[in-house]
Amino acid sequence: MDRIKAEAVDCGKRLDVFLSERAGFTRSAAQKLLENGCVAVNEKIAAKNYKIKESDEVRVEMPEPRVVNAEPQNIPLDIVYEDEDIIVVNKPQGMVVHPAAGNFDGTLVNALMFHTKGNLSAMNGVIRPGIVHRIDKDTSGILVVAKTNAAHLSLAEQIKAHTVTREYICLIHGGTNWDELTVDKPIGRDTKDRKRMIAGASVLKDGRDAVTHFSVKQRYQGYTLLGCRLETGRTHQIRVHLKSIGKHIVGDPVYGLKEDRIAKSAGLCGQLLHAQKLGFIHPATGKYVEFTSALPDYFLCILDKLQAL
């Protein structure tokens, strides 16, 4: 339960705006709390259109979290490699990795639960069994899943030590005046929109170190194909680092251009960002292994069109 005292500068603000600014909720989350009667002003349940007065005391009582177990679902998987310890899969664009608010089924975890008959590591509980690292819903490509707790611990330690090879391919709008570039900027939550991340000095206090190495793979008319090597693995790292230097991935619905003609004409459902290579020390054998994933057809189709210009 959170209690917030209104100040003179808050007078006249709509309650959802007040909650967004003072409590860190997104506007949509604040509106949902109001709709569900979770917000009281001076101990009275507040109306959605209430406007703040000086010295108002706003109380937010968060609803009990929904308890969800990941249930097995017979969903096709593109398995690159599998043994008793790990599974390496090629995740399609549009698939969520694990159940969360708004996506309780149809996820990679649901498919893995069915495929393995529930034989996944338990380190991340019942919602994220086996999940060591993630890929955004609208990003395609390769990731490794742990079947055993020992494998999970080994992979997690390697990720923490920045020894895992993680390479991506993306298509951005415009050109570059560089062939190779390293972006070393901390990444943190955007205080104006909690679903977004930002990079740079403004998040130095609460941000986490983030390093991405970019290299030009191919230049096209009005577009550039980049290789992206992750040194760290922060939320939305590649997309946020590119935005911080004024570059945008084609089809990115969050950090991309508002007018993305090529994405619209191609009917893209997400950004042209693909996890192409993953390498690590196998938890059981102690040997370095590396796996690759080919670019999806829709990605290749756009590259072919650009090549023909």
- Cβ atoms of 270 and 299 closer than 8 Å: no
The pLDDT-based confidence of 103 (bands split at 50, 70, 90) is low
Higher pLDDT, 41 or 122: 41
Q: What pLDDT is attached to residue 180?
A: 98
Q: Considering the domain 65-161, what is its CATH architecture? A: 2-Layer Sandwich (3.30)
Convert the pLDDT of each residue in 249-274 to its tens digit.
999 999 999 889 899 888 998 999 99
| Average confidence (pLDDT) over 35-61 | 87
Give mean pLDDT, residues 277-282.
98
CB 107: neighbour CB atoms within 10 A?
24
Q: Which residue has the higher pLDDT, 191 or 115?
A: 115
Pairing of strands 273-281, 140-146: parallel
Is CATH 3.40.50.20 what the domain over 162-288+304-309 is classified as, yes or no? no
Q: Give every CB contact of residue 61 below 8 A, 6+ residues apart in sequence.
A: 1, 38, 39, 40
Partner residues linked to 218 by β-bridges: 225
Average pLDDT over residues 46-58: 88
Over residues 13-36, the mean pLDDT reads: 79
What is the token pair recorded at 88?
A: 């390496």
Q: Which residue has the higher pLDDT, 3 or 223?
A: 223
Output the six-digit token pair for 101: 């608010």
pLDDT of residue 67: 45
pLDDT at 205: 65
Candidates 219, 139, 217; CA nearest to 174 is 219
The answer to whether residues 182 and 214 touch, using CB atoms and an 8 Å cutoff, is: yes
Lowest mean pLDDT among 18-27, 144-153, 223-232, 238-247: 18-27
pTM: 0.77
* Whole-number Å distance between alpha carbons of 161 and 110: 29
Sign of the CA dihedral 116, 117, 120, 124?
Answer: positive
Residue 102: predicted pLDDT: 63
238 vs 67, residue with greater confidence: 238
Q: What pLDDT sits at residue 240?
A: 97
Could you tell me the residue ranges of all domains in the chain?
2-60, 65-161, 162-288+304-309
What confidence score (pLDDT) does residue 85 get?
96
Q: In the chain, which ranges are E strands?
A: 2-5, 39-41, 44-45, 57-60, 79-82, 86-91, 140-146, 165-173, 180-184, 187-189, 197-199, 211-220, 223-230, 273-281, 288-292
Map residue 33 onto helix, strand or coil. helix
User: Of residues 10, 16, 136, 252, which has the active-site annotation?
Assistant: 136
Domains 65-161 and 162-288+304-309 equal at CATH topology level: yes
Residue in 20, 18, 38 with CA at minimum distance from that of residue 28: 20
User: What percent of the chain is modeled with pLDDT above 70?
Assistant: 93
CATH class of 2-60: alpha beta
The answer to whether 85 is a known catalytic residue is no
Mean pLDDT for the chain overall: 89
Residue from 45, 38, 34, 42 nearest 58 by CA? 42
